[in-house]
Amino acid sequence: MEFQKHTVLLLCLIVAFLSFAVPLFGQEANLRFVVEEKLAKAEVYRDGKKTTGIRLEEVCDVDNDVVAARVFRDYGAIFIAAPEVRFPVKCVFAGDSEVQMYQSTANPVTKNVGGTSITLQEPAMNALLEAVDEARKKNLRISPRGGSIAAARSYQDTVDLWYSRFNPGLGHWTGLGKIPRRDADAVRGWGIQKQVAKVLEWEAKGWYFSTDFSKSILYSVAAPGASQHLFMVALDVEQFASKPVREILARHGWFQTVKSDLPHFTYLGLDESQLPARGLKPVFVGGQKFWIPNLD
């Protein structure tokens, strides 16, 4: 399989990130610069020979693919997670087989948390359980929001979530006469990635596809194949509105990283003080702090 070949080429990339020390960048580093620097130093095998250097476009083609560019901008925080987190070899998986292959090699662990069985990468799960224990000692609770898909998801889960926003949005804007019915019918038959690109084009005109049609669909659901839940380092938290809960999660390496997705937390495994030097910047939405990619 082509993906298997791609995975083999990138295996040593993981090793490079396992030795990931705090980068020697300024306090407001650019995420792309941080990631490119680390990729450039990664050791890989090409055609059976050991060599150095991976280009960002091999993992996320931000210059030529509008979907990849948007994914990197909105969900790119995962690329600077601590060394023990299994590094994603692609920013957008093409289908279920790629997701299953990645997840099977990312040391998944399943536990019952707050009465719900969820799956995460082992370091993310360990940190979450420590946070849950700290919260319990303070008479607080940390629990998954929305059942088992609050954590790890399958590729099909992300497809289903996509259509739960895409179909109503298409009906809404078609009904208002913004999108001609013939165009809507055509797009329904397209492949997922082509659909995502077209929705982003429509949203550039102000025709948003979120649940209330007020913001981008990608602030509501991830593009199929791009969700941080696929990488098993994301959790939707029921008690997201509690500042003490958010502070406990942050102390254990869990941060809000997707602007406007209030319940969503990402395991980075880092101290908050390290995040600016890793290419993230803080923004506030609804009184909550989000650490999002700094691409300025």
| Radius of gyration, alpha carbons of the chain | 19
* Confidence (pLDDT) at 12: 40
Tell which of 92, 115, 130 closes a domain.
92
Query: Is 159 found in the same domain as 85?
Result: no
Residues 84 and 12 in one domain: yes
The residue type of 202 is: W
The two structure tokens encoding residue 174:
């078609």
Q: Do 122 and 110 contact (CB within 8 A), yes or no?
A: no
Stretch 209-216: mean pLDDT:
93
Q: At residue 28, does pLDDT exceed 50? A: yes
Which residues span the domain enclosing 44? 2-92
Q: What is the pLDDT of residues 45-101, one digit of tens each?
A: 666 677 778 899 999 999 999 999 999 999 999 999 998 998 887 899 989 999 999
Contact predicate 134/248, CB 8 Å = yes
The total of structural domains in the chain comes to 2
Q: Which of 219, 240, 259 is the last residue of a domain?
A: 219
**Is the pLDDT reported for residue 166 higher than 90?**
yes
**Residues whose CB is less than 8 angstroms from the CB of residue 245 and which lie 6 or more positions away in sequence, other chains included:** 135, 140, 141, 142, 237, 239
- 219, 247, 267 - which closes a domain: 219
Statement: residue 229 has pLDDT above 60 = yes
d(CA 246, CA 8): 38
Verify that 87 and 12 share a domain, yes or no.
yes
Residue 107 in domain: no
* Amino acid code (one letter) for 139: N
State the number of CA atoms in the 13 A half-sphere of 111 facing the CB. 19
Question: Cα separation of 220 and 222, whole Å?
Answer: 7
- Residue 116 inside a domain? The answer is no
Whether residue 186 lies inside any domain: the answer is: yes
